[in-house]
Amino acid sequence: MSPDRPDDAAIAETLLRLVEERGPGRSVCPSEVARALGGPHPEGWSPLMQPVRREAVRLMKQGRIAILRKGRVVPDPDDFRGVYRLALPR
């Protein structure tokens, strides 16, 4: 990543912090993570959406978060499409 872009560790830290702050039974939109890192303007946060997704998949595989689609945990973090949310594991 370029020097002005957060690295994977910063993305993971921010993602975990936001999910933990939201608490059990509540979820976070991945764009909230991207905006927390890249600022309110799309040119700052939009390029972070794919790195956020990659970190979410990695963290779910470690059992640290859950990726939700339509309120349900995705069965395979490597194979899901569409709108998703991030939450603490149940």
Going along the chain, which residue ranges are E strands?
27-28, 66-69, 72-73, 85-87
| Res 3: pLDDT | 55
Q: Produce one character per residue of 25-57: b if its CB has 16 or more CB atoms within 10 Å, e if not.
A: eebbebebbbbbbbeeeeeebeebeebbbebbb
| Res 14: pLDDT | 98
Class of domain 8-87: mainly alpha
Say what the pTM is.
0.93
Mark the ranges of the chain whose per-residue pLDDT is less than 50.
1
Sequence ranges of the domains in the chain: 8-87
